[in-house]
Amino acid sequence: ETDINASKTRQQLNDVAGKMKIIEARLNALTNHQTKSL
């Protein structure tokens, strides 16, 4: 059971890390776009 829970936790951490990267990419794209328009 512990191994299953550990793998689930790792999967959740990986999912969160992936979402954070996507959000960072969107923020970078927005700031780059704003800098260009300025």
Q: What local confidence, expressed as pLDDT, does residue 27 receive?
A: 95
Tokens linked to 23 = 């959000």
Could you tell me the pLDDT band of residue 37, with boundaries at 50, 70 and 90? low
Give the structural domain span for 3. 1-38
Q: How many domains are there within the chain? A: 1
| 33 pLDDT higher than 70 | yes
Question: Does residue 15 carry a pLDDT above 80?
Answer: yes
Q: With the CA atoms of 20, 26, 28 and 32 taken in that order, what torsion angle do they form, in degrees rounded to the nearest 10?
A: 180
For the segment 26-38, the average pLDDT, to the nearest whole number, is 82
**Measured distance CA(24)–CA(19) in Å, rounded:** 9
Place of tokens 């689930």: 8
